[in-house]
């Protein structure tokens, strides 16, 4: 299994990788305001790289339920200085977390290698940007849109519907000129899903892979963990996230988007030592 980004091709046949979350926003649910200056964001990025992140995912608009929409100009003002600064000192992979094609295009010009679109490339212009650039692409499933996605989400069979979405997007996006090896799929845990939907998707992760495309999973500090714990304290979700990372790796997820890099990377090391005898 390989994932082709604009800068390099990742071999994911045995070793999973960690994508570190870098929110440069004032209102993200977990770390809003912590890294909303380029200097603070760069310090955090360096820390995640030192802990073993293979990708830094830079986002300038919160996608938590009920979050206010951010215009492209503001989103670019938040993200582009960080991407440029990081690119100037690091040769690793940078991802832009955006639904806006103009932001994606500018971020790629600034040095990003991957576009992570929670809307699943609904905008035809986003498809064109990704096809023309040859970047890596994360296609996420989301029912509805961030402002309203948690208002009574309903599915007949959530596992079958997410897999069908992936299959259709794979066919449509490759027909539009995006190489299959550039595509990665994310089931969108917590995006238009109830607690029960999230657990059903996790139980069926092995059924969600389409084509030769890897699965990305974003479980870190999600609200369903808090519900299961009966706690509203975000830090209480960190070790359960590590446990779920290990579960997801065993079930086939090869890219893990997290806030805390080191413990999740170490969990992957332990799982892979047992599963395939891989010593990092």
Task: List active site positions.
Answer: 222, 257
With H, G, I as helix, E, B as strand and everything else as coil, classify residue 11. strand
Pairing, β 9-11 against β 2-4: antiparallel
Report how far residue 51's alpha carbon sits from residue 79's, in angstroms, rounded to the nearest whole number.
22
Contact (CB, 8 A) for 104 and 129 = yes
Beta bridge partners of 19: 55, 257
Reading the block at residue 227, the tokens are 């519900």
Give the contacts of 51 (CB within 8 A, at least 6 positions apart). Answer: 20, 261, 262, 265
Give CA–CA dist 230/255, Å, rounded. 28
Which of 203, 245, 210, 253 lies closest to 12 in space, CA to CA? 253
57: β partners: 21, 95
The CA-atom distances, in angstroms, between 152 and each of 21, 155, 157, 159, 184 are 27, 10, 15, 17, 27
Contact 29, 62 (CB under 8 A): yes
Tell which residue, 157, 252, 257, has the closest CA to residue 209: 252
């Amino acid at each position: 299994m390989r994932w082709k980004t604009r800068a390099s091709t990742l071999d994911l046949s045995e070793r999973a990788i960690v994508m570190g979350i870098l929110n440069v926003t004032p209102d993200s649910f977990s770390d809003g305001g912590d890294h909303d200056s380029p200097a603070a964001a760069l310090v955090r990025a360096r820390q995640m790289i030192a802990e073993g992140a293979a990708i830094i995912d830079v986002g300038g608009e919160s996608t938590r339920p009920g979050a206010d929409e951010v215009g492209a100009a503001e989103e670019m003002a938040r993200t582009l200085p960080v991407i440029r600064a990081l690119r100037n000192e690091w040769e690793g992979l940078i991802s832009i977390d955006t639904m806006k094609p103009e932001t994606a295009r500018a971020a790629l010009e600034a040095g990003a290698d991957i576009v992570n679109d929670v809307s699943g490339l609904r905008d035809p212009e986003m498809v064109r940007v990704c096809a023309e650039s040859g970047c890596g692409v994360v296609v996420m499933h989301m029912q509805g849109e961030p402002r309203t996605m948690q208002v009574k989400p309903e599915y007949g069979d959530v596992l079958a519907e997410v897999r069908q979405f992936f299959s259709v997007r794979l066919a449509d996006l490759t027909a539009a000129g995006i190489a299959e090896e550039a595509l990665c799929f994310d089931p969108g845990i917590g995006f238009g899903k109830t607690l029960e939907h999230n657990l059903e998707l996790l139980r069926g992760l092995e059924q969600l892979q389409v084509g030769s495309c890897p699965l990305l999973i974003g479980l870190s500090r999600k609200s369903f963990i808090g519900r299961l714990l009966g706690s509203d304290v975000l830090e209480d979700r960190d070790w359960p996230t590590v446990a779920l990372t290990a579960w997801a790796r065993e079930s086939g997820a090869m890219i893990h988007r997290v806030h805390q890099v080191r413990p999740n990377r170490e969990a992957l090391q332990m799982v892979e030592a047992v599963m395939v005898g891989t010593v990092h």
